[in-house]
Amino acid sequence: MNKIIKPKVTLVGAGPGDPDLLTIKGAKALADANVVLYDALANEEILTYAPKKSIKIFVGKRKGCHEYTQDQINQLIVDNALTYGNVVRLKGGDPFIFGRGSEEIEYIESFGIPTAVIPGISSSIAVPANQGISLTKRGVSESFWVITGTTSDRKLSNDVALAAQSSATVVILMGMSKLDQIVALFQNESKGETPVAIIQNGTLPNEKVGVGTINTITKVVADNGLSSPAIIVIGEVVRESNKLKNFHQEFISNKVYARE
């Protein structure tokens, strides 16, 4: 007698990089998966929570190198759910923070397939926190912006210019290729001395952090070879981090360090 397939898709946020920052609920969902489709920013160590016999499919995207288009990913999720039943779609960070998670859910549900969402710890908050950077702090920052550096048409988000006019902390994801433009927008608002931290491979053993100001950060990046994936944090809260105090004392010297 053939087993009845009951399709279901669970969208799971993998967290910022460190596999220990996966949620317990996310680990439980993986344990029940027949198929896992995972992204480039989802740590592969997390796949150990899935059954050994489960099918693992890499559908990651990196700049200039896409394993699958988004449309192909959407169809893969549906096809695997209809064929194998329980699918986990594993996405880095939180799937609803620039992760196109809502698009995938809408497509899956158009086929009548039940879905569930398990939030992940967003890199936009966790990566700065790991460096002692509190995005809000009484008397320093009352709010924060989280902005994509690169929009769907490959341009810098217009919101960066608006954020530069505010006193809020600004966190920019996927913005390294637009760093010169970002710097220019803040300089236009006379914020050249505003502290900046760039955190590459946040929460991972090969994490690197560059610290400077709007006026010096491009040199920090060039001198130390910082690149994507990285998060840009702009605001006075960077100066408030106890973990980065030694860098603040010599801000103009373009400091960087790597975790060993």
Q: Which residues face 244 on adjacent strands?
A: none
Q: Residue 244: what pLDDT? A: 81
Residue 252 has a pLDDT of 42
Q: What is the pLDDT of residue 3?
A: 76
Burial class (CB in 10 A: 0-12, 13-18, 19+), 30: buried
Q: What is the pLDDT of residue 37?
A: 97
Q: Which residues of the chain have pLDDT under 70?
A: 1-2, 62-66, 246-260
Whether pTM exceeds 0.75: yes
> What pLDDT is stored for residue 224 in this prediction?
87
What integer pLDDT is reported at residue 38 of this predicted model?
96
Q: Give the residue among 140, 136, 149, 216 at the shortest CA–CA distance from 178.
A: 149
CB 237 within 8 A of CB 133: yes
Q: Residue 1 catalytic?
A: no
Measured between its terminal Cα atoms, the distance across the chain in Å is 56
Which of 39, 176, 178, 191 is an active site residue?
39
* Catalytic-role residue among 25, 61, 137, 159: 61
Select from 230, 248, 229, 246 the least CA-distant residue to 238. Answer: 248
Distance, CA of 117 to CA of 107 (rounded, Å):
14
Residue 159 among the catalytic residues: no
Examine the residue annotation and report whether 79 is marked as an active-site residue of this protein.
no
What integer pLDDT is reported at residue 182 of this predicted model?
A: 97
Task: Output the pLDDT for position 253.
Answer: 46
Query: Catalytic one among 174, 176, 191, 255?
Result: 174
